[in-house]
């Protein structure tokens, strides 16, 4: 195997790890979004006894945390460029490195 092939395989493995971490963060956050929409429509029924202001604060902190995590995690292993909104890119839009 050539050095380029080894580096390409390493980049693919790193990207798989990053994609898995992204899903681990995204799925619980989407559940929080669903809870926020439900809470907006049913303000008298607080989830788990949490007050509206407290829930809104938790939601904003989670939103900021997920946003910062995504901008740091969702990067090409090769050029460190942001991968954009694609859910499962096959190639980096910046450098063309193979990701999957």
Give the model confidence (pLDDT) of 41-79 as tens digits. 777 776 666 777 777 888 899 999 999 999 999 999 999
**Residue 4: pLDDT band with limits 50, 70, 90:** confident
Q: How far apart are CA 31 and CA 20, in angstroms?
A: 17
Q: Coil, helix or strand for 75?
A: strand
Mean of the per-residue pLDDT values of the chain = 87
Residues 6+ apart with CB under 8 A from 86: 93
Tell how far CA 48 is from the center of its chain: 26
pLDDT surpasses 70 at 1: no
Q: Which token pair is 31?
A: 């559940």
């Amino acid at each position: 195997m050539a050095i380029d092939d080894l580096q390409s395989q390493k980049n693919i493995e790193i990207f798989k790890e990053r994609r898995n971490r992204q899903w681990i963060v995204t799925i619980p956050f989407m559940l929080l979004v669903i809870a926020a929409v439900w809470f907006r429509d049913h303000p008298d029924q607080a989830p788990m006894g949490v007050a509206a202001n407290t829930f809104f604060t938790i939601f904003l902190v989670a939103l900021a945390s997920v946003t910062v995590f995504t901008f740091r995690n969702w990067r090409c292993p090769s050029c460190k460029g942001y991968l954009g909104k694609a859910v499962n890119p096959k190639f980096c839009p910046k450098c063309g490195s193979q990701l999957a």
